Structure formats: structure tokens, C-alpha cells
Structure 1
Amino acid sequence: MASAVIGSLGAPLITAVAEAYGVSLAASQWTLTIALLAGSVATPVLGRLGSGSRRRTVVLTVLGVEVVGSLLTVIPLPFALLLLGRAAQGSGLGLVVLMMAVARDHLDEQRAARTIALLSVASTAGIGIGYPLSGILTDQFGVRAAYGLGLVVTVAALVAAVFMLPHAPTRPPTTTRPDGPTPASTSTRSDVRGAPASTSTRFDVRGVVLLAIALPALLLVIGETRLWQHHAGLAVVILVAALLVLFGWAVLEARTEHPLVDVRLLRHPAVAAANVVMLVGGVGMYLLFSLITRYVQTPTAAGYGFGLSTFEAGLVLVPFSVLGFVAGRLVPGWREWLGARLLLGASTSVVLAAFVLFAVARAQLVLPIVAIGVLGFGVGAFSAAMPAVILAVTPAAETASAMSVNAVVRSVGFSTGSALGGLILAAHTTGTFPTESGFTTAAWIGAAATTGTLLIITLLPLKPR
């Protein structure tokens, strides 16, 4: 819940922050961007730090950092310190993968599967709770009251962790192979080449530095719609450079004795396929999410839209959250008799249906609301089904690390979907607002991308051995 609330304290508050601090909207946008960038780097780092016996210490430390960051957003301070506070808050977005590891270690198989599915859905579905709450708090009491919500939730999470979070169990030695873990005859875990596994106390500083360069650069260039509009050549250069650094990082991780992320796990066909599906599927999911939220807030003077306020637009997202949560509860029970491929395919088909509905029918407000509700169910089912594919072939000790990679892949997909929507609408803008045909075009392009995701699910080896 803390991750969901912190994530929702970005987009709805951009205008209010600009007014309260006397900065431009472009500067205010960084209150969202810096939290997401901090989370993208922190997620794999926390996945590694929290993979061993230090997990409880790591969780409590990061929650403490989040509380301090939340205080910086609430206390009247210069804008630079607000950004510092938002970065500190964003560092806690990676804690979700550590909670998945806790569930896998301390619950029986069935309850662990349900809990991990809900954790995978929570940060996305929680948007429908955080957006309207932050909107109404801002409208009634000012932007610092909305940030106060983040402080309350992070303090509650810290208190809960202090009193209830268990220590990580002591693991028997295992050997990590491409097809899963097997007992090892030595006293330490080792990988397929005999090197000690990454649960060692050593920390891959070089991997962190390269990742801290590559990931923010990649996410920033993907999300900078104006850069692609006006300086496409420069955008391509930055994108290629970021991808090259990321490739270099992956090569380094594969050759490092104690890597930040054990990329060798990606050699398993099911894990690699699941991350490809997450990347492509994430593009379509967030594209439709951004289209609907922008459409309902467009003033009626543009000839379409409904001119909803931030708070009202937040209420439109409630069906997205509720149905996403429902899907997260239902999917683990369906997994045994449907299987990973059919479950991911069915959830992707639901997302495709939401695209088609929005593309052909949105004249009355109830229609976009229905479309985003259908989207929420599809996203919830998809997010809940994904961990089972990865964890079925991942050693328990690598739960947090493997899921952190998937979380980063999802962030890249979501950022690409948001940027793609912005570029398509910008291409259909002649005045202040894009033409309505721009939304139709974007919806059908998203439907095509989602159809591509279905094809990938059909062809790639998602079924674990």
C-alpha cells in the first residue's frame, strides 16, 4: 500500500506543486519523474541486498528512508528538498519484490501464490485509491496535506515491519542451474560454473553504477515526448547509448562472481519469455490507461471529453483498482487448471477488449469508465499470473532478484506506452488539444500491440519444466 500511495502522489499533484512552490510545470513534473527513476534503480539493488539474511534490516532501513523523505515533502522547505524527499520515497518502490520473497519463505505454497499475486497487483491497482485521495486532499487542504498521506502510510508500514516482519530463514546450500535449484555438496551456494552464488555478503558496486546510468537514461529518453518531437536524432543517440550501457551491464553481470542481478536466470526459456511478454504487454496496458485518463479530463470545449477535475478523474480510476484487485484474488485459483500460457493469453485478451471498447464507443462518460474497469481486470489478471511463470523455475533465494528484473521490465514497458500515447496525440494536435481522431488512432495502435502480445504468448515457451 505504501508503494501504491507514493506512486499516486506524482501525476495528480503536478499542477498544485507548481502553484505552491512557484515553479514551472516542467520543473514540477520532476516530482513524479525523480521518484520513478529512484525506484527503477533501487528495485534491483534492493532485490540483491534483501536476498539473504539481511532482508529485515534492508526493509527497515529503506522504510526509515521513506519516512524521512515523506517528512521532507510535508515540511515547508525549498523545492530542491521536496525533490530530494520524493527521490527518497521512490527508493521504497522496490520493497514490493522483497515482500514477495517474504511470502515465498514464510507461507505455504498455496497462500504464498495468492499473496505474491496480490503484491504484484497492489502497486498498480492501488492507483485508483491514491489518485482520488490525493486529489481531494489537495483541493481541500493543499498539496502538503496530500503528501501527508504518504507520511502516514510510510510510518504505518515501518511500524508494521518493526513488529511483524520475520527474519529471513537460513537456507540449505543449493546449486543454481538453468532449470532450477538442486542440492550442492559444498558449504556455499554456487552457480552453474561453480562460482559462489550472489547471496554472498559482497556487493556488486560496478553493477550498481552502470545500472544507475543506463536505466534512468533509458526511462528518461523514452518518456520525453518533446525530445522525440523536436530532436528525434538526439533522442535516438541517447536511446542507443543507454541500450549499449545496459548491454554492457548485462555482460558484466554474467561474468561477475557476485552479481547485482543473476542474469544467468534469464537463460531459462520460461523466464526470458515472461519478461518479453511483460515488456510488450506493458506498452499496451499503460498506453490505454494514459489515453482514458487524459480523455476524461479534456474540456468539452475541445469537442469531446468531459472536463473532469483531478479528483473526479481519480474516481474514474476506482473501477480499475477494484477489478484489478478482484482479478488478483481470482487468478491464483485458476492457475492450476488453466496453466500459465492460457491465463496470460486470456488476461491479454481482456486488455484487447478494453482497447476495442474505447476505440469504438466513448461518447458517454460511462463508456470510458467501463473500458478502464475492463482494463483493470485484465491488468490485474496479467500481473497476478506473471510471477508464477518466473518463480516456477527460480530458486527461492533468488525470488527478490528475479522479480526485481521483471519489475524493471514492467517500468520500461509502462514508460514506453505512456510516451507512445503522448507522441500519437501530439501528432494529431493542431491547437491546444489533440483531435478526437488521435485517441482513436492511438487506441487501435495499442490494440495492435496487444494483439502482438497475444502472438508472443502463443509462440514463446512460457510453460515451466
Structure 2
Amino acid sequence: MDASPPEERAGGIVTVLAAAGIVAALMQTIVVPFIGEMPRILGTTASNASWVVTATLLAGAVFIPVTGRLGDLYGKQRMLLVCTVPLILGSVVCALADSVIPMIVGRGLQGMGMGIVSLGISALRDLLPPRRLGPSIALMSSSMGVGGALGMPLAAAVAEYASWRVLFWGSAVLSLLITLLIWRRVPPTPPQTTGRLDLVGAVGLGVGLVCLLLGVSKGADWGWGSGTILGLLVTAVVVLLVWGWWELRSGDPLVDLRVTARPQVLLTNVASILVGFAMYAQSLIVMQLLQLPEATGYGLGQSMLAAGLWMAPGGLMMMAVSPLGAKLSAARGPKTTLLAGSLVIALGYGSSMVLLGSTWGMLIIVAIVNGGVGLAYGAMPALIMGAVPRSETAAANGFNTLMRSIGTTVSAAVIGVVLSQLTIRMGEYTLPSENGFRVGMLIGCAAAFLGALVTLALPSGRPGSPTGPAASDGPGEPAEQPVKALT
């Protein structure tokens, strides 16, 4: 057992879990810079190659709620270790892939490990003293942005100067290192509830989410009016309605919908969808604007690597504002922080109306938007954990992470439709027009502003940590204290 002083040990736990979140986020973005080369690399079509991204998205959506529930049932440290296994295996499979099928399988395995972030945030509630909890949650939440920001230029540099396989071998090594650090530095956490995994609920939610996200993400490629897309969306609605009915009847539900329906949880999840939408819209738009040729009159002609570097400070901004968000939450409550974050995101999008057209303008837009995202993402877990019993912390955080993922998926679909409809012709090429990008920015601004309005409807509560009275394990029961080794 680690004999370090409690404060030092707590700091090590936070550092390891934040690093794990960064590595998990890297898995999502490492293929983006060379996705256009995938058809040549794997000897397949562009449509088939797009599954390299889609597989990770779908696997993450299906397994994040499941790993969250398992974390409550069997201990979060144990499930954190379990989540690193598919990250390692998936990276190795991708590194060895010479065709599209094993690459898709490997990317799906990597997606299965995406529950690390929500599990890590939930573990903080069990392991840290209350005074450390708010800042640590904010830092852990920002790790996704940091990983995404670092992943783009890193992957672009490797793709430009080395073999793409190096990316996946590096991912395998990082995942193995994280496994060892979690095992050595994160204490075991006891189960917070009893019962069993709701297998029927897990399968039902998985089928419903796959149909929904597949329909939304592939609508532009397959045709929104096609029988396949309409069938997927109708099936998603039917399956999710039946799933909801089952969860309400189950004695051990995968997701306790009665708790999820509490105003603070429900409205936070709705705001999470909107903030996730707004967060992703700017990354899609800015990356394209940076790389479009200057001959268009609005493109900035940057290389893949340079574009990634111009966007990298956005992720660092998320980490920089996380301590400020934690202080604001402690002083005024996480509702105020989520409201401030949503408004800052809207401000960033609004600034794009005058800042589009230069690389420095793009940098400012990205920094403002990601600063707002850092505030908002740090407040969401605090709001969730302040309204659910300790026995459902990981499951509730996993469901909240899923809501953000749904927001990013819908964002990709909506922005994709806008940019495909508002176009210009340059020779034999059809490119998104400047007006298309501006409309996309305004849509992102509207989503962030709607997120602020939803936040205003949240119940007002006193400032405090997620271990306060709202987070009790039942009526009149105080929240449990963190494990004694750290207090």
C-alpha cells in the first residue's frame, strides 16, 4: 500500500486519472488527420473507411453506460483497469491491420474503453476529501479537451513524418502505462451498491443507441429520406421506448430513470447535449477553414500539421480555466459555472462574425469557445453527483457522458448538412462556402445560448461540493465520507 502522505497521495490519484482521460481522448482523434488516406492505406472505399471513426463512436456510446453501472457494482478502480484492456488490444489490432475489417474491429475495441473518463470522475468522489473534490472534477473533465487538442497535431506530425502504425503502437504503450499507474496509484474502491447488471437493459440501450447514432451520423451519406436511415431512426425510437418501460419495471436497472428524471439531473443532461453540440461544431468548422486553399478568398491554406497546432491551444485553455471554474462553483454553485460556460461559448461563436478570415482570429475563437467548454464540462459532473445517491455515481456520470456524445454526433450531422448545402464551385471541386461556415457558427452560438437557458431552469441550490446533502444515499441519509486512507 502506498505510504505517501494523504495530500500527496490524493494529488497522485488526480494526476493519474487525468492522464488516463487524456489518453482515452487521444484514441478518439488520432485517426482524424489521415482519415482521407485510409482508403489508400487499407485498400477500401471512402465510405468503408469512414467506419474507422464511426466504430469508436458507437462502441463508446454502448459501453460507457454499462461500464458506469459495473463501476458502481464492483468498484471503480477495478473497472478502470478493465477499460484499459480494450484500449491496449484495440491499439495493437489497429497497428497490425492491413485491411479495413481489422482496423474497424480495433477502433471498436478502443471505443469500449471510453468509459475511463466518467469512471475516473466518479472515483474521485470515493477517494478524495471534500475540499479537493471540486478542482479535481474540473481538471478531470478538462482532460477530454486536452487529449483531443493534443491528438490532432500529434497524429498529423506522425502521419506526415512517420508511419501511421507508429500512432497505434504509441497508443498501446500509453494505455499499458496508464494501466500500471492506475494499478499502483489509485486505491481500490469498494462497491457502492448491490445487485446485478441489467443485461436486457444493456442490450436494449445498445441497440437503440446504435440505431440512433448510426442513423444520425450516416444520414448525409446514405440519404436522409432513404429507407435505411428512416428504418434506423424509427427502430431507435421504438427500442428506446421499450427500453425505458423495461428500466422502470426492473429491480436493478442499468439507468435509474426515476433518478434521471429529477429536475437537476434531467436539465443538466439536456444542457450537456447542447454544450456537446456547440463544442464539436467549432472544431469541424475551424479545422476545415484552416486547411481550405487561400484561393477561395476565405480559406487559410494551412497544412494538416499547422492546422492542428493552431487548434491545440483550445484544449490547453480548457485545462487553464478548470481551476477558475472550480472556484466559481465553490463560491456560487455549479449552476452558475455551467451558465457562465454556456454564455462564454456563445460569445466565442458570436466573435466569429468578425474574426473569421485570419489564423489568429481562428485561434481566438477556439480559445474562447474551449474556455467556455472547460467551465461547463467541469460543472456538469458536480451537478449530477449533487443530485444522485453515491450508489449511482458512476452510472449517472456515464449517462451524462453519453448525452454529450449524442450532442457531438448530432452536431456533426447538422453541420455536415449545412456545409454540404451551402457550397461554391472551384473548377471541378465543390467546397463549403463562406456563408455556410458562418451559418454553422451561428447554429453553434444558438445551441450554446439554448444551453444557458436550460441552465437557468435548474433548481437553485447553495454552493457546495457533490458530497453535500443533495447527494445523500437516501431520504435523510448523509452522504458517505471519502475512504479513510485519504481523509
Normalising to structure 1: TM-score of the pair? 0.89
Identity fraction in percent? 29
Contact persistence 1:270–1:462 (CA under 8 A): no
Which residue is 2:323 aligned to? Answer: 329
Matched, 1:269 2:263: yes
Q: 1:396 to 1:230 in 2, by over 3 A?
A: closer
| Alignment match of 1:138 (pick from 159, 162, 174) | 159
Alpha-carbon distance in structure 1 between the residues aligned to 2:371 and 2:201: 37
Contact persistence 1:344–1:386 (CA under 8 A): yes
Q: Deviations over 1:400-440 (max 9, x none)?
A: 10001100110001111121111111111243101111111
Alpha-carbon distance in structure 1 between the residues aligned to 2:261 and 2:274: 19
Which region of structure 1 is more displaced relative to structure 2, 219-228 or 321-330? 219-228
| Alignment match of 2:450 (pick from 440, 449, 452) | 452
Which residue is 2:313 aligned to? Answer: 319
| Alignment match of 1:48 (pick from 63, 69, 72) | 69
Which residue is 2:111 aligned to? Answer: 90
Matched, 1:209 2:203: yes
Q: 1:62 to 1:340 in 2, by over 3 A?
A: closer
Which region of structure 1 is more displaced relative to structure 2, 126-135 or 14-23? 14-23
Which region of structure 1 is more displaced relative to structure 2, 56-65 or 131-140? 56-65
Which region of structure 1 is more displaced relative to structure 2, 403-412 or 253-262? 253-262
Contact persistence 1:67–1:151 (CA under 8 A): yes
Alpha-carbon distance in structure 2 between the residues aligned to 1:462 and 1:34: 40
Matching residue's letter, 2:423: T
Which residue is 1:296 aligned to? Answer: 290
- Displacement of 1:25 in angstroms is 2.1
- Displacement of 1:136 in angstroms is 0.4
Contact persistence 1:55–1:98 (CA under 8 A): yes
Which residue is 2:417 aligned to? Answer: 423
- Displacement of 1:233 in angstroms is 7.0
Matched, 1:396 2:390: yes
Q: Deviations over 1:294-323 (max 9, x none)?
A: 211112232321122221121122111111
Which residue is 2:177 aligned to? Answer: 156
Contact persistence 2:298–2:434 (CA under 8 A): yes
Q: How does 1:50-449 map to 2 (within 5 A)?
A: 50-169=71-190, 199-227=193-221, 231=225, 235-431=229-425, 432-449=430-447
Matching residue's letter, 1:59: L
Which region of structure 1 is more displaced relative to structure 2, 113-122 or 137-146? 113-122
Matching residue's letter, 2:432: P
Which residue is 1:190 aligned to? Answer: none
Alpha-carbon distance in structure 2 between the residues aligned to 1:314 and 1:243: 37
Alpha-carbon distance in structure 1 between the residues aligned to 2:182 and 2:333: 34
Contact persistence 1:125–1:325 (CA under 8 A): yes
Contact persistence 2:138–2:323 (CA under 8 A): yes
Which residue is 1:461 aligned to? Answer: 459
Q: Deviations over 1:62-104 (max 9, x none)?
A: 3122211111111254331121111111111012111122211
Q: 1:254 to 1:295 in 2, by over 3 A?
A: same
Matching residue's letter, 1:450: A
Gaps of 5+ in 2: 1-21, 463-469, 471-487
Q: Over aligned residue pairs, what C-alpha RMSD do you find?
A: 1.9
- Displacement of 1:462 in angstroms is 5.6
Alpha-carbon distance in structure 2 between the residues aligned to 1:428 and 1:462: 42
Matching residue's letter, 2:76: R
Q: Deviations over 1:247-273 (max 9, x none)?
A: 221221121111112222112211111
Alpha-carbon distance in structure 2 between the residues aligned to 1:234 and 1:28: 19
Matching residue's letter, 2:389: P
Normalising to structure 2: TM-score of the pair? 0.85
Contact persistence 2:138–2:377 (CA under 8 A): yes
Contact persistence 2:86–2:109 (CA under 8 A): yes
Residue 433 of structure 1: SS of its match in structure 2? strand
Q: 1:357 to 1:97 in 2, by over 3 A?
A: same
Matching residue's letter, 2:357: A
Matching residue's letter, 1:104: R
Q: How many residues get paired?
A: 438
- Displacement of 1:243 in angstroms is 2.4
Residue 252 of structure 2: SS of its match in structure 1? coil
Which residue is 1:189 aligned to? Answer: none
Q: 1:336 to 1:165 in 2, by over 3 A?
A: closer
Alpha-carbon distance in structure 1 between the residues aligned to 2:222 and 2:333: 40
